[in-house]
Amino acid sequence: MKRQTKQIAAVLLVLAAVLISGCAEQVSEMSADEIASMMEAKQAEIDDFSATMVTTSSYGGEDMTMRATMLTKPPDKSRIEYSEPAEAAGVVLVTNGSTMWTYDPARNQVTKMALPEDIPSEMEYTEIVKDILDKNDISLEGVEDVGGRSTYVLKATPKNETEREFVSNMRVWIDRETWMLLGIGMYDKDDNLISKVEYRDITFNTGISDSEFIFEAPAGAEVVETSLEDMMPEEMTLEEARANLTFDLRVPSYLPEGYEFDHAMILGDAMFGDGQEMVSLKYTDGSEILHLTEWVSGDSGRSEPAMGDPEVVSINGTDGEFTSMFGMNTIRWSADGIDYSLSGAFEKDELVRVAESI
């Protein structure tokens, strides 16, 4: 997913720069440095902006909508407050470049985390642009009205066919007046929308105060201070993981040739903040990775709908779901009160064989 996020960001940079130049065909005539410089120049004109961010997605036949208001002051200040879905309503995330606050109203808890100084506040434009120019075909599809704003609609298609297995292409909506992003859509091979992010009711340069990015904890809220290091799970042996789990950890008796156990990580309260447990096991042949994740069935927030169009597979007589995304295949199933997720760049039959050996 991180790779896909980088790809989306790169598409936006290239396309906005191309549009500013007034002609899509000029992409082949411009260097990555020129495109990056043009994009940086446009971004430099923005002192602040606000918007309503709406994310819609369809995974495994289930639709989901997330809605939040956001305030941003480049290069490193932001405030996001969620109103939808109901279980996320009131969640607030604030960063001022040096500190990040997260407020969970369900627990009435504020998490305050100092940000490492070596985290970049701005993207490496030139590197990203060069990468996207090499790996995507970019075309201008036309002009479309989005929320009363006139936008250019552009399409980015990976040149590498293997990268189109789940996300076949992306469409990007760019405001013709402000050159800001108003939407990103990801589509499957049948041109069905998988996920879309829209920015509505955008305002620019209204003089947002820096005080918006200093979070005041609500009265009575518990404040917990942590660090990025504390948030990262510790690598463990199987024995150490078993000693720290409240459920029986199971491992495969069959692995693909050359693969062996590398380490385990327990993803518990430090990461999710809900006291629940999830264990992740990493197996590798030195270059590729096989991931096995286990958690107690029914734990809040753990049972996510499978992405894509799941195919039913049998795991020792129990129905599971097989999906493919970004070149990674995944099988999910449940047995004896435990949910399992097994992922790797293997064919379905090979993943089933590993799953049945657990």
Q: Is the pLDDT score of 200 beyond 70?
A: yes
Whether residue 192 is found in the same domain as residue 240: no
Whether residue 190 is found in the same domain as residue 330: no
Whether residue 187 is found in the same domain as residue 290: no
How far apart are the C-alpha atoms of 241 and 237, rounded to whole Å? 6
Tell me the residue range of the domain where 166 lies.
2-204
Whether residue 31 is found in the same domain as residue 154: yes
From 166, 187, 204, give the residue that closes a domain. Answer: 204
Whether residue 185 is found in the same domain as residue 286: no
Instruction: Look at residues 154, 176, 158, 178 and name the one whose alpha carbon lies nearest to residue 166.
Output: 158
Q: Region 259-265: what's the mean pLDDT?
A: 96
Highest mean pLDDT among 4-18, 40-54, 127-141, 269-283: 40-54
270: domain CATH number is: 3.30.200.100
Evaluate whether residue 223 is within a structural domain.
Answer: no
Whether residue 11 is found in the same domain as residue 53: yes
- Percentage of residues in the chain having pLDDT higher than 70: 73
Evaluate whether residue 326 is within a structural domain.
Answer: yes
Residues 3-36 pLDDT 10s:
444 444 444 444 444 444 444 444 334 444 554 4
Per the listing, tokens 């995944």 go with 330
Whether residue 160 is found in the same domain as residue 276: no
- Count of domains forming the chain: 2
Evaluate whether residue 222 is within a structural domain.
Answer: no
**pLDDT score at 124:** 46
Whether residue 189 is found in the same domain as residue 240: no
Evaluate whether residue 60 is within a structural domain.
Answer: yes
Q: What is the mean pLDDT of the chain?
A: 78
- DSSP annotation of 341 reads E
Q: How far is CA 249 from CA 82, 102, 316, in A?
A: 36, 32, 18
Whether residue 122 is found in the same domain as residue 252: no
Whether residue 37 is found in the same domain as residue 163: yes
Evaluate whether residue 228 is within a structural domain.
Answer: no
Least confident among 104-108, 134-138, 149-153? 134-138
Whether residue 148 is found in the same domain as residue 187: yes
Whether residue 40 is found in the same domain as residue 165: yes
pLDDT top residue among 109 and 204: 109
Is residue 149 very low, low, confident or very high in pLDDT (cuts 50, 70, 90)?
Answer: confident
Q: Region 212-241: what's the mean pLDDT?
A: 88
C-alpha dihedral over 44, 46, 47, 50, to 10 degrees?
-150
Reduce the DSSP state of residue 192 to 3 states and report it: coil
Q: What is the pTM of this model?
A: 0.63
pLDDT top residue among 187 and 304: 187
143: domain CATH number is: 2.50.20.10
Q: Region 146-158: what's the mean pLDDT?
A: 80
pLDDT top residue among 76 and 166: 76
Residues 29-82 pLDDT 10s:
444 455 445 555 666 788 888 989 999 887 656 778 999 999 989 888 999 999
Evaluate whether residue 75 is within a structural domain.
Answer: yes
